[in-house]
Structure 1
Amino acid sequence: MIKTIICRLGSGALFGAFLMLFLTDSLNIAAQSEYSRASLWEDEIAEFKQRDLENPPKEGSILFIGSSSFRGWRSLKDDFSEYKVINRSFGGSHLSDLIYYFDDLILPYKPCQIIVYEGDNDVASGMTPKEYLQDVVTFSRMVEVFLPESELAFVSIKPSPAREKWIEEYQEANNLVREFCISKPNMKFIDVSQLMIDREGKIKEEYFMSDMLHMKTLGYQLWKKVILPYLSEKGKN
């Protein structure tokens, strides 16, 4: 339903349609007459759907969704074994992709909580921190409308040696998202970024694989410690 609207409406009409639908005064979706990134993820979305048919996930779980930093978390279920968790992340994604595929990747699970990791690729692809914030606002309002009982948390954009040139933009985006989350009672901001930098401001390379972008087990163990206290009690087994 949502992606059909995005495909068929231009950006101006899209804004007006969602303004009425969401009763909101602000919207910024990366949409054109046809969403150009949609075809990148069709196979992965189809794989998720097939997986769900074969092994239907439990409603009321905690949904981890986002880009490769979540997709690569192979030990996610073991790390949060006391909770019902689902991972539907896909590498290279932007938050606008989650918006586009909202009715495929978010709605079916009726999650008690949604944990999002995005922004890494968005900013590195040329999006400004303020533009990324607008996608955060859009996504959060979609959750408010379609999943009003779901809690929502955004994990901060991580610093990585491979993308060190964007570290200031990442930090600005993190600050903007943090301020937005603080203003919302059903939202949380989970800051993993500060613990990945030493006292001299240098990124800790020991958390990263050889590409200096994706994390290894040590990095995920750090994230586990930071994220665990934010998980909803509703998602416990």
Structure 2
Amino acid sequence: MFWYHEEVERLERKEVLPKGEKLRVLFYGSSSIRLWPNLEEDFSELDIINQGFGGSTLAACCWFFKRLVPQYKPDIIVFYGGDNDLGDGRHPEEVFIFFKEIMGLIKEFCGDIPVGFISVKPSFNREYLLNSIDYTNKIIGEEITDRYPNCQMIDVYTEMYAINKVSGELFESDGLHMTEVGYDIWRTAVKEQFLNRFISESFPIDKTPKI
């Protein structure tokens, strides 16, 4: 996985700031995470760390996990992967195996913290993979329900698929990377399906004005 090394080394050099009063949420995964515009502003009530790296597969996220995640001591992790694995010809079952591996890494190095897995998105560029994407989301979602009470599948697939059928406004010209309209769906889904649940249950946000 040498083609990732330059970007991984850049992320490794990112300063690890002392933990403040805000909850620390680490976003991890492929370019859909790395290119998220206004990520910190979208979740301004939280301390956001963006550790996405372009073109990464879920396999690569597992491989580089120990170099890019534990040192930040996150309270919560949100990650996206599997899209590029399927695009590279891997089967849904292989993505499922890597999902279980990264969940094991999170538990080993970060503890039993809340984890949000953003479902594999549908896109024009990978329309030929829709059946595989749908099946990947299905088997990972079932695994989360059965085995990971601290994890939530964040469903972006359903709304994006519905909009894709009538509009091309979710994607850039490459048919793969999202516009701000696409990220609006992601932001709302992360908040409503995941953060609102886990923060309100276990990690209340301190809304006291910071001086």
The one-letter code matched in structure 1 to 2:60 is D
Residue of structure 2 in register with 1:153 after alignment: 116
**1:210 correspondence with 2:173:** yes
- After superposition, residues 1-237 of structure 1 pair within 5 angstroms as 37=1, 39-52=2-15, 56=17, 58=19, 61-183=24-146, 184-198=148-162, 202=165, 204-229=167-192, 230-231=194-195, 232-233=198-199, 234=203, 236=205
Contact 1:95–1:136 (8 Å) recurs in 2:
yes
Q: Secondary structure at the match of 1:182?
A: helix
Which structure 1 residue ranges, 5 or more long, are not aligned? Answer: 1-36
Q: SS where residue 86 of structure 1 aligns?
A: strand
Return structure 1 stretches of 4+ with deviation > 4 angstroms: none
Kept in 2: contact 1:57–1:86 (CA 8 A): no
Rounded to whole Å, the distance in 2 between the matches of 1:44 and 1:133 is 25
Counterpart-to-counterpart distance in 2, 1:72 and 1:131? 25
Cα offset for 1:102?
A: 1.5
Whole-Å separation in 1 of the counterparts to 2:166 and 2:145: 26
Secondary structure of residue in 1 paired with 2:6: helix
Alpha-carbon spacing, 1:161–1:57, altered in 2? closer, same or farther (3 Å): farther
CA separation in 2, counterparts of 1:180 and 1:115? 17
Shift in Å, 1:235: 8.0
Partner of 1:114, secondary structure, is strand
- Any unmatched runs of 5+ in structure 2? 207-211
- Alpha-carbon RMSD across the aligned residues, in angstroms, is 1.9
Partner residue in 2 for 1:16: none
Structure 1 residues 57, 94: closer, same or farther in 2, change over 3 A? farther
- 1:52 and 1:162 map into 2 onto residues whose CA distance is 35
Question: Percent same amino acid among aligned pairs?
Answer: 33
Tell me the CA shift for residue 198 of structure 1.
2.4
- 1:89 CA displacement: 0.1
Partner of 1:207: helix, strand, or coil?
coil
Scaled by the length of structure 1, the TM-score of the pair is 0.78
Distance 2:204 2:46 in 1: 5
Change (3 A) 1:75 1:235: farther
Partner amino acid for 2:54? G
TM-score by length of 2: 0.87
